[in-house]
Amino acid sequence: MKAVGVIVEYNPFHNGHLYHIKEAKAQTHSDVAIAVMSGYFLQRGEPAIVSKWARTKMALKSHADIVVELPYAFAVQKAETFAEGAVSILGELQCTSLFFGSENGDIDSFLDTAIYTIKHKDELDEEVKRHISTGMSYPAAMAKAFHNVSDGTRALDLSKPNNILGFHYVKAILQDDIGMKPATLTRLSSDYHDIDLPEGPSHIASATSIRKSILETMSLSDSSSFLPEASAEELEEYAGTFGLWHSPENYFPFLKYSIHTMDTKELEGIYEVEEGLEHRIAKAIRTARSYSEYMEQLKTKRYTWTRLQRMNTHILTRAKKADIRSILAEKRPSYIRLLGMTKKGQAYLSKKKKELRVPLITKIGAFSHPSLDLDIKAGRVYSAPLKEPAQTMLTGQEYSLSPVIYDEENRTFLRT
């Protein structure tokens, strides 16, 4: 059986994702699609709108065959680390190809750019450092450095978010000599950063605009046409069971508490709190009345909103620099956490699991690792805004739930 890998967040799974995963299978002639998905907190530092279990169900009902979790230490990270962790998992699962969406849509541009940057690494690193020293953010410095070093002759625009991720996916494949063939698809219609739902006949909208609509209206009435039926069902069921859809504002009281109960030295030890940011954080939190107000006070030209959101999530989880760096020193995840699979996905894993070089985790009680401890802690933090008994129910799922199995022929779940 042939497998294609996709790296996703599904926050939530929408029509664009459905098109992407169908095309992934079709264009790579693959039997199964394996999704490496962020858990409770995402690459940009936001909480997922619903839990990883609900998003797994959305994916399995919509042509994904296997869903595994990208550990927190790799998921809530800059693009390079995020990509390295996800690509290594897909490599371990013996995917023959990796399929991703991009603004560019031309895989040769990604390959050329990745090869060029690997060959000119030292020169590029120096350029990036020079631009950062002027107060430029890392993504902007990287794009500028590449443009300068390559004399602007390369076609790939590294200022675009999906191009950036795709570039790091391809670079990780080449650097680690992972036997996967990368392929890309041009994103349809909506831009990644679009904040408003499109007007007219389009049924494709950005995940950002869909979340904004859902959280502002607290309903799916305006966004339902941009979602597969399976996603709408899971969103409604989650809100009915747990009482909310998660947003950064839900966590502001807990962030405030965390910062107020840390001294400066402890705050300085949190991952991504760098260069005196602890003093700026302490000052902003004293007067801010909401998460957005706090972020506006904290944001600078040098530190992007995304970087600061990730830092705030690390404060919430009390993820220490020493702990994250120790996990990342292993270069790749030390286990694969299985969240769900279709019957076809189950057949694929049955054939491949004996060849895996790292443990495939289906029950967390049977395995121990500092990275998994951090995943569990992230789940507890994620549940904090929920009222009882919903909070205990969600935290308990980490221990009680086996991987979800979806019978795609009969369209039913065999285990929940």
Binding site listing for ATP: 7-20, 101, 162, 187
Cβ partners under 8 Å of residue 65, min gap 6: 3, 32, 33, 34, 341, 342, 344, 345, 348
In order, the DSSP letters of 24-83 are HHHHHT-SEEEEEEE-SB-TTSPBPSS-HHHHHHHHHTTT--EEEEEPHHHHSS-HHHHH
Strands 412-415 and 404-407: antiparallel
- Cα separation, 251 vs 266, whole angstroms: 20
168 near 114, Cβ under 8 Å? no
Cβ partners under 8 Å of residue 300, min gap 6: 135
Binding site, annotated residues: 7-20, 101, 162, 187
399 near 364, Cβ under 8 Å? yes
Cβ partners under 8 Å of residue 315, min gap 6: 255, 258, 259, 262, 267, 270, 273, 281
- Cα separation, 93 vs 357, whole angstroms: 9
32 near 347, Cβ under 8 Å? no
- Cα separation, 247 vs 302, whole angstroms: 25
Q: What residue has token string 């990745």?
A: 114
* DSSP code of residue 103: S
- The amino acid at residue 367 is F
Burial of 189 (0-12, 13-18, 19+ CB in 10 A): middle
